[in-house]
């Protein structure tokens, strides 16, 4: 049976460390606010926004949310971001994705000042990651590195391992590949046009799945003794959550695995908090 990588516990550990850090920063007179902007009322987005605000409250930083109607114009959103960019007390700005289709997501992301881009999505943040400079790193991939390091799996390190990442999105797959490279893994990225995915995945020492396809990855995709990270998150008809990986099957073969829920999910918010604290610190 595989080691269970407990994201909930590790995320709590990180938030507790941050809580202490925020208190120390406050004592030095340093504080700041995270502004979360939600356009429309997608129920999943509302839950994410609530969770982010709750995490801010837990670690002791202020947060404000702007809940804008679905028919908000792109211009109005860009004006709000521009105003927030100017406010010194605002240290982080986050636009909850997805945004309505009549808006250009790239344009909105680019409007956020890179110094306040705590999601790490702006071209400057991504470029810094590519060339190994300091900058905000996308929270989900950064959280996966923390999971692998803090899980303290026996005789395990990332360096030298072959990591296969299934998915090449700008917010998960691509930054994940760059972070794995930074950790000296050998990296392969797979996507929907990849041929013979099972053969490729079974070469992975570390298999990171971010496809957005519930239960797609079964035991036939997994090498005996691999570490399997499931980024996917889906709500089933019975209301329960599941990932892209068929957990029960894969845990029989893997060395270690993340559950859904309680794996990658909690780490995303913990790393967002880490980025916010870094933004207050500078």
What is the binding site for ligand NDP (CB under 6 A)? 140, 166-169, 171-173, 190-194, 197, 210-213, 231-233, 264-265, 268
Cβ(105)–Cβ(76) below 8 Å = no
Q: Work out how close the CB of 248 gets to ligand NDP at its nearest, in angstroms, rounded to a whole number.
A: 19
For residue 68 the two structure tokens come to 């804008």
Q: Work out how close the CB of 4 gets to ligand NDP at its nearest, in angstroms, rounded to a whole number.
A: 16
Which of residues 119 and 205 has its CB atom nearest to ligand NDP in the complex? Answer: 119
Q: Work out how close the CB of 193 gets to ligand NDP at its nearest, in angstroms, rounded to a whole number.
A: 5
Phi/psi at 257 (nearest 5 deg)? -150, 150
Which of residues 113 and 169 has its CB atom nearest to ligand NDP in the complex? Answer: 169
Q: Which of 117, 119, 230, 244 is catalytic?
A: 119
**Catalytic annotation present for 96:** yes
Q: What is the DSSP letter of 250?
A: H
Q: Which of 21, 38, 96, 230 is catalytic?
A: 96
Which of residues 25 and 230 has its CB atom nearest to ligand NDP in the complex? Answer: 230
Give residue 13's Cα distance to chain centre.
17
Beta-bridge mates of residue 68:
39
Q: What is the DSSP letter of 116?
A: G
Taking CB positions, which residue lies at the least distance from ligand NDP? 169
Which residues, 6 or more positions from 223, have their beta carbon under 8 angstroms from its beta carbon?
201, 202, 203, 204, 205, 207, 253
For residue 165 the two structure tokens come to 């990442």
Q: Which of 6, 21, 38, 52 is catalytic?
A: 52
Q: Calculate the alpha carbon distances from 19 to 58, 85, 135, 176, 271 in Å.
A: 7, 25, 22, 26, 13
Which of residues 97 and 181 has its CB atom nearest to ligand NDP in the complex? Answer: 97
> How many other C-beta atoms lie within 10 A of the C-beta of residue 41?
11
Q: Work out how close the CB of 180 gets to ligand NDP at its nearest, in angstroms, rounded to a whole number.
A: 15
Cβ(115)–Cβ(235) below 8 Å = no
Q: Work out how close the CB of 89 gets to ligand NDP at its nearest, in angstroms, rounded to a whole number.
A: 28
Q: In angstroms, what is the C-alpha Rg of the chain? A: 19
Which of residues 80 and 210 has its CB atom nearest to ligand NDP in the complex? Answer: 210
Catalytic residues: 52, 96, 119
């Amino acid at each position: 049976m595989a080691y269970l990588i407990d994201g909930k516990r590790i995320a709590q550990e990180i938030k507790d460390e941050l809580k202490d850090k925020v208190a120390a920063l406050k004592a030095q007179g340093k504080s700041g606010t995270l502004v979360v902007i939600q356009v429309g009322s997608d129920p999943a987005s509302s839950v994410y926004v609530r969770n982010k605000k709750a995490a801010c409250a837990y670690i002791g930083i202020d947060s404000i949310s702007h809940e804008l109607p679905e028919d908000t114009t792109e211009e109005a959103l860009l004006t709000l971001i521009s105003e927030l960019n100017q406010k010194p007390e605002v240290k982080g700005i986050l636009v909850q994705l997805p945004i309505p289709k009549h808006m250009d997501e790239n344009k909105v992301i680019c409007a956020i000042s890179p110094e306040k881009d705590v999601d790490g999505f702006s071209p400057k943040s991504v470029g810094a990651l590519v060339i190994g400079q300091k900058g905000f790193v996308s929270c989900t991939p950064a959280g996966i590195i923390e999971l692998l390091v803090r899980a303290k799996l026996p005789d395990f390190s990332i360096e030298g391992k072959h990591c296969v990442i299934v998915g090449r999105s700008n917010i998960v797959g691509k930054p994940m590949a760059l972070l794995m490279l930074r950790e000296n893994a050998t990296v392969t990225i797979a996507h929907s046009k990849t041929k013979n995915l099972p053969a490729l995945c079974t070469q992975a020492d570390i298999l990171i799945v971010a496809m957005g396809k519930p239960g797609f990855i079964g035991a036939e995709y997994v090498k005996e003794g691999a570490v399997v990270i499931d980024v996917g998150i889906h709500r089933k008809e019975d209301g329960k959550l599941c990932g892209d990986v068929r957990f029960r099957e894969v845990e029989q073969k893997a060395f270690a695995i993340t559950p859904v829920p309680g794996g990658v999910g909690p780490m995303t918010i913990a790393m967002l908090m880490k980025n916010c604290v870094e933004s207050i610190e500078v």
